[in-house]
């Protein structure tokens, strides 16, 4: 199915950012539809992370527009973007080390339900079932009581996914969701993500270095090189694209 | 005109001294990331050592200069010894523990000096060859000060050559950037660190020794020197040597200017600039930090790997056992007036007051991750707020007990708005600056606050005038305060605060406004410190600016760290242990500081997580991963 046929969740137009004269991202445009997994790939230094961080407000673009469900979100802080229904996972997992797995998810739920200003109730008793359902969904229910500081890395990634789902997002932004994981775990995590995306009709944008993961799970792929978009389309088309092959073979040739 | 020039030159001379102390502190911080509280003590030792050496060598040119250099070398050697014997063991410990260890050194050195040199001020001889003065625009100016003016730039140039023209200097600069990488490249960082520490100590000792013709060797110089040096280092930017020089010039000149201006009448209002000298450096620091959060020439600190705060256990809400234990302690405390001596009741009031003070400090240090060097300001605002409302506004004592803390909360709301924009050491220094500003207002506003004498006759209402009645009031307030703080800790707000500390990135990504959360925490902590302050005032019947002096803030820090910063009952145990130890030792020996310092050093080296923290680690439950979690920094060492 092409993006046009789906309801557009995220629409990016002519996004640009330069750092001291270096064009990190130049005139990039794309869209992600509901229920779609869009992969953003490219060699090192192509501008993927910059592009990504502009989408949720961590970096402010020089020009261009980012619309979420038709609403312009450029200039909003990450926390405001989150309130509009954007979940985020990080390349290096970011969880709360002093809390248990369940409490990490409860924390996100407390924020989602706008309860962080209450001083009296016991936080650990609030939204417990809701947190457990999310943990169940990502296969972490059995470890709900463990401290995040002692989890295996692959399990932390699952916790992050549960946290990212806590605000019932329309869009998930996943920066290298499988980085640092063993090959078997990678496939399992992406299969799980794809399943959740389909059942909830989420839109997902992810960056990834593992081409197996990309070509197995992405509905569409966009390719970034030196800040500009050089290809976009279905996996088979992108795989056959001459420029993409040159970029990848080229970068492989250099090391 | 002539007097302005003379003041300008005076400013340059004191800038040189400031630079000598500060540059060593900055260098040590840059490489080892240790904030060396004992740096002022090294400066003081330089003065004392120079006095004794010159006394022994005789006041000949050779004797004088030999004494000065000899003193600096001795202090440098002591620095190396301290680094090898103590600091080397705690480089991987949380930053705060390093701070606590160096503070313990301050106490030990102070008493060692007292023991060896006695309490009297010692005035050294004039420098042979530089004893006279020269006429500048017709006014006499000391020759020795001209010499000092030249020393600052000379040391700056020599340091620059050392750091940029030698292999050792290159390594030092590399370690300032990324010490782990320097280690990975096969450099023996141990000796590098020792060398840097010795050099920093040497410079502090030199700064002190060179003061010998200008000011007597005195016991309190350690704390005044360290607070000056901190200000210079922070204003210049931590780790930046040119920054330290620039900041020393700036502060030296501004202070000289204030002295020179004296009292100026502007539009009928007399402004006493000379009174401002006590506080002007802190005003400068506050302005610089608000405008430039990393100082004039500083850069954001490079990330340090694996040496952050200890990994904290998931906090366990109070179970039935904990509630029972709490009730048992409360019952025992309630029985104290019947069972104990009157003296025990008085001491218990002190302990309770400090327990609440420490608990309020722990609230911002633990869950919010903000270390305050100036928490006494809010203790003091509570005390002064209550006392002034009683004495000046004539409100009933009971009302002032509620309104005093409100004054503290308002102060915390105002200062906190600036404080939460910073982090780490810079944040700590801004809290110190605000505390010093508040302190100097209380110290100098004779007509309103009673100035240095403070306020007397701050007595509670009749029904509370008995010690036992006041004890129960204190117990009730402190128990309620501690209970509320615990409750907040486990509330959604408390969790959100911890979330912002654990991972700002993730907290922001789930909609938490960290700055706002921290600001509210600052206000809460200020209010509870205010309650403690108001109680303290009424328990003594008088207050003085002492209640918000730096030493009070430091006492609070020590209590929290002694107990363990990431434990809720830690500050209570720490406050009790500290207050009781201080009281007991002070009654039995003149050298209570040394004993306290040695005790702190022992605790830091033996229980790096504080008393309660260590107990919790030993008793830690297995199912929540406690043992792995709690041994945080020890584990990383491997």
Reported as a single tens digit per residue, the pLDDT across B233-268 is 989 988 889 999 999 999 999 988 888 887 777 777
Query: Is residue B177 in some structural domain?
Result: yes
Query: Is residue B332 in some structural domain?
Result: no
d(CA B17, CA B196): 19
Separate counts of helices (H) and strands (E) for chain A: 9, 10
Give me the mean pLDDT over the B21-45 stretch. Answer: 91
- Shortest distance between the Cα of B113 and any Cα of chain A, in A, equals 44
Buried b or exposed e, range A85-122, using 16+ CB within 10 angstroms: bbbbbbeebbbbbbbbbbbbbbbbbbbbeebbebeeee
pLDDT class of B636 with cuts at 50, 70, 90: very low
Query: Is residue B256 in some structural domain?
Result: no
pLDDT class of A253 with cuts at 50, 70, 90: very low
Please report the pLDDT score of residue A60 as a whole number: 92
Please report the pLDDT score of residue A255 as a whole number: 36
Give the distance, in angstroms, between the CA of residue A130 and the centroid of all CA atoms in the same chain: 22
- CB–CB contact B503 A96 (8 Å): yes
pLDDT at B305 over 60: no
Please report the pLDDT score of residue B623 as a whole number: 35
Query: Which candidate from A77, A100, A108 shows the least CB-CB separation from B314?
Result: A100
Going by C-alpha positions, the residue among B516, B214, B522 that lies closest to residue A77 is: B516
d(CA A109, CA A118): 14
- CB–CB contact A82 B513 (8 Å): no
Query: Is residue B254 in some structural domain?
Result: no
- Side by side, the strands of the sheet bearing A203-207 are A86-89, A171-175, A203-207, A37-41, A220-225, A228-233
List CB contacts (< 8 A) between B312 and chain A.
97-98
Domain coverage including residue B475? 345-577
Query: Highest mean pLDDT: which of B425-439, B594-608, B612-626?
Result: B425-439
B555 shares its domain with B424: yes
- Reported ipTM: 0.90
Query: Which candidate from A56, A96, A146 shows the least CB-CB separation from B502?
Result: A96
* Positive/negative CA dihedral, B528, B533, B538, B540: positive
d(CA B502, CA B516): 16
Query: Which candidate from A88, A99, A106 shows the least CB-CB separation from B509?
Result: A88
Q: Which residues contact B328 (CB under 8 A, 6 or more apart)?
A: none
Structure tokens at A204: 């997902």
Total tally of structural domains belonging to chain B: 2
- CB–CB contact B488 A107 (8 Å): no
> At CB < 8 Å, which residues of chain B contact A?
311-315, 317, 487-488, 490-496, 498-499, 501-503, 505-513, 517, 566, 623-625, 628-629
- CB–CB contact B311 A98 (8 Å): yes
Please report the pLDDT score of residue B1 as a whole number: 66
Q: Which residues contact B154 (CB under 8 A, 6 or more apart)?
A: none
* B-chain residue closest to A77, CA distance: B508
> At CB < 8 Å, which residues of chain A contact B?
56, 77-80, 82-83, 88, 90, 94-100, 103, 106-108, 110-112, 115-124, 126, 145-147, 149-150, 163, 166-167
Domains (range + CATH), chain A: 3-85+169-254 (3.40.50.300), 99-168 (no CATH)
- CB–CB contact A145 B510 (8 Å): no
d(CA B555, CA B540): 18
- CB–CB contact B493 A108 (8 Å): no
List CB contacts (< 8 A) between B609 and chain A.
none
Q: Which residues contact B158 (CB under 8 A, 6 or more apart)?
A: none
- CB–CB contact B508 A77 (8 Å): yes
- CB–CB contact B502 A146 (8 Å): no
Query: Is residue B304 in some structural domain?
Result: no
- CB–CB contact A96 B506 (8 Å): yes
Alpha helices in A22-92 (DSSP H): 48-55, 78-83
- CB–CB contact B624 A100 (8 Å): yes
pLDDT at A54 over 50: yes
Query: Which candidate from A77, A103, A108 shows the least CB-CB separation from B510?
Result: A108
pLDDT at A247 over 90: no
pLDDT at B378 over 80: yes
| Top-confidence residue, B176 or A189 | A189
* Positive/negative CA dihedral, B570, B576, B577, B579: positive
Reported as a single tens digit per residue, the pLDDT across A71-99 is 999 989 999 999 999 999 988 889 998 89
Going by C-alpha positions, the residue among B430, B450, B434 that lies closest to residue B442 is: B450
Domain boundary among B212, B231, B250: B231
Helix%, strand%, coil% for chain B, nearest 5: 75, 5, 25
pLDDT over 70, % of chain B: 93
List CB contacts (< 8 A) between B512 and chain A.
79, 111, 116
pLDDT class of B313 with cuts at 50, 70, 90: low
- CB–CB contact A126 B502 (8 Å): no
- Shortest distance between the Cα of A240 and any Cα of chain B, in A, equals 37
Please report the pLDDT score of residue B302 as a whole number: 52
Query: Is residue B271 in some structural domain?
Result: no
Residue with tokens 């509370």: B464
Strand partners, A89: A174
Q: What is the mean pLDDT of chain B?
A: 86
Query: Is residue B286 in some structural domain?
Result: no
- CB–CB contact B493 A77 (8 Å): no
- Other C-beta atoms within 10 Å of A239: how many? 16
B211 shares its domain with B356: no
- CB–CB contact A145 B312 (8 Å): no
Give me the mean pLDDT over the B195-206 stretch. Answer: 96
Query: Is residue B622 in some structural domain?
Result: no
Please report the pLDDT score of residue B178 as a whole number: 75
Give me the mean pLDDT over the B559-581 stretch. Answer: 85
């Amino acid at each position: 199915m092409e993006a046009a046929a789906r309801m557009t969740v995220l629409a990016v137009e002519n996004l640009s950012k330069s750092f001291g004269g270096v064009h990190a991202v130049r005139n990039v445009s794309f869209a992600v539809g509901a229920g779609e997994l869009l992969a953003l790939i490219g060699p090192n230094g192509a501008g993927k992370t910059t592009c990504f961080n502009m989408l949720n407000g961590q970096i402010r673009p020089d020009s261009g527009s980012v619309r979420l469900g038709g609403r312009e979100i450029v200039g909003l802080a990450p926390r405001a973007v989150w309130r509009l229904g954007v979940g985020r996972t990080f390349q290096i997992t970011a969880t709360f080390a002093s809390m248990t797995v369940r409490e990490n998810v409860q924390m996100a739920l407390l924020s989602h339900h706008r309860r962080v200003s209450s001083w009296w109730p016991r936080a650990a008793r609030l939204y417990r079932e809701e947190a457990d359902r999310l943990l169940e969904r990502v296969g972490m229910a059995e470890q709900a009581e463990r401290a995040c500081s002692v989890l295996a890395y692959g399990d932390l990634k699952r916790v992050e996914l549960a946290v990212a789902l806590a605000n019932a997002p329309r869009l998930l932004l996943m920066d290298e969701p499988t980085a640092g994981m063993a090959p078997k775990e990678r496939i399992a995590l992406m299969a799980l993500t794809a399943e959740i995306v389909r059942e909830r009709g989420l839109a997902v944008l992810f960056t990834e270095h593992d081409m197996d993961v990309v070509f197995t799970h992405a509905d569409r792929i966009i390719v970034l090189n030196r800040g500009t978009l050089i290809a976009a389309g279905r996996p088979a088309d992108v795989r056959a694209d001459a420029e993409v092959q040159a970029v990848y073979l080229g970068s492989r040739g250099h090391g | 005109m002539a007097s302005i020039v003379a003041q300008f030159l005076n400013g340059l001379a004191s800038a040189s001294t400031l630079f000598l102390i500060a540059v060593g502190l900055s260098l040590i911080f840059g490489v080892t990331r240790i904030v060396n509280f004992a740096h002022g003590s090294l400066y003081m030792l330089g003065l004392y050592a120079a006095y004794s050496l010159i006394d022994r060598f005789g006041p000949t040119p050779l004797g004088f200069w030999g004494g000065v250099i000899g003193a600096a070398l001795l202090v440098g050697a002591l620095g190396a010894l301290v680094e090898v014997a103590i600091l080397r063991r705690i480089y991987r410990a949380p930053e705060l523990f390093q701070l606590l260890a160096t503070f313990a050194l301050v106490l030990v050195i102070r008493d060692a000096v007292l023991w060896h040199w006695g309490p009297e001020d010692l005035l050294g001889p004039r420098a042979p060859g530089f004893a006279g003065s020269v006429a500048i625009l017709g006014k006499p100016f000391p020759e020795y000060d001209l010499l000092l003016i030249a020393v600052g730039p000379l040391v700056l140039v020599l340091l620059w050559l050392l750091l940029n023209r030698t292999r050792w200097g290159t390594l030092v600069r590399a370690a300032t950037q990324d010490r782990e990488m320097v280690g990975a490249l096969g450099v023996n960082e141990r000796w590098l660190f020792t060398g840097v520490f010795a050099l920093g100590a040497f410079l502090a000792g030199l700064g002190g020794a060179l003061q010998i013709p200008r000011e007597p060797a005195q016991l309190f110089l350690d704390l005044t020197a360290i607070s000056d040096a901190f200000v210079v280092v922070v204003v210049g930017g931590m780790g930046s040597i040119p920054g330290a020089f620039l900041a020393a010039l700036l502060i030296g000149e501004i202070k000289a200017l204030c002295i020179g201006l004296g009292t100026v009448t502007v539009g009928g209002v007399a402004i006493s600039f000379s009174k401002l000298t006590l506080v002007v450096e802190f005003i400068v620091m506050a302005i610089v930090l608000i405008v430039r959060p990393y100082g004039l020439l500083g850069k954001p600190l490079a990330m340090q790997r694996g040496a952050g705060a200890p990994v904290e256990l998931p906090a366990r809400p109070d179970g039935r056992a904990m509630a029972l234990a709490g009730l048992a302690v409360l019952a025992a405390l309630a029985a104290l007036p019947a069972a104990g001596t009157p003296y025990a009741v008085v001491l218990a009031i002190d302990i309770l007051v400090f327990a609440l003070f420490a608990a309020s400090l722990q609230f911002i240090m633990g869950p919010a991750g903000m270390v305050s060097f100036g928490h006494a300001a809010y203790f003091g605002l509570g005390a002064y707020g209550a006392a002034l409302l009683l004495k000046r506004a004539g409100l009933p004592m009971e009302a002032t007990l509620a309104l005093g803390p409100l004054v503290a909360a308002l102060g915390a709301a105002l200062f906190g708005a600036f404080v939460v924009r910073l982090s780490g050491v810079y944040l700590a220094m801004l809290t110190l600056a605000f505390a010093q500003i508040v302190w100097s207002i209380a110290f100098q506003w004779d007509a309103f606050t009673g100035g240095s004498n403070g306020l007397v006759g701050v007595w509670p209402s009749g029904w509370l005038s008995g010690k036992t009645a006041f004890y129960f009031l204190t117990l009730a307030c402190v128990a309620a305060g501690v209970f509320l703080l615990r409750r907040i800790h486990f509330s959604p707000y408390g969790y959100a605060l911890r979330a912002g500390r654990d991972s700002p990135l993730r907290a922001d990504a789930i909609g938490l406004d960290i700055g706002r959360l921290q600001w509210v925490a600052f206000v809460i902590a200020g209010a509870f410190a205010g309650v403690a302050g108001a109680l303290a005032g009424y328990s003594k019947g008088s207050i003085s600016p002492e209640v918000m002096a730096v030493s009070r803030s430091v006492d609070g820090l020590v209590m929290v760290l002694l107990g363990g910063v990431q434990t809720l009952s830690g500050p209570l145990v720490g406050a009790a242990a500290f207050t009781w130890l201080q009281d007991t030792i002070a009654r039995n020996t003149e050298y209570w500081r040394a004993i306290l310092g040695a005790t702190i050093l022992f605790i830091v080296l033996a229980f790096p997580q504080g008393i309660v923290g260590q107990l919790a680690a030993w008793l830690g439950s297995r199912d929540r991963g406690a043992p792995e979690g709690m041994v945080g920094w020890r584990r990383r060492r491997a």
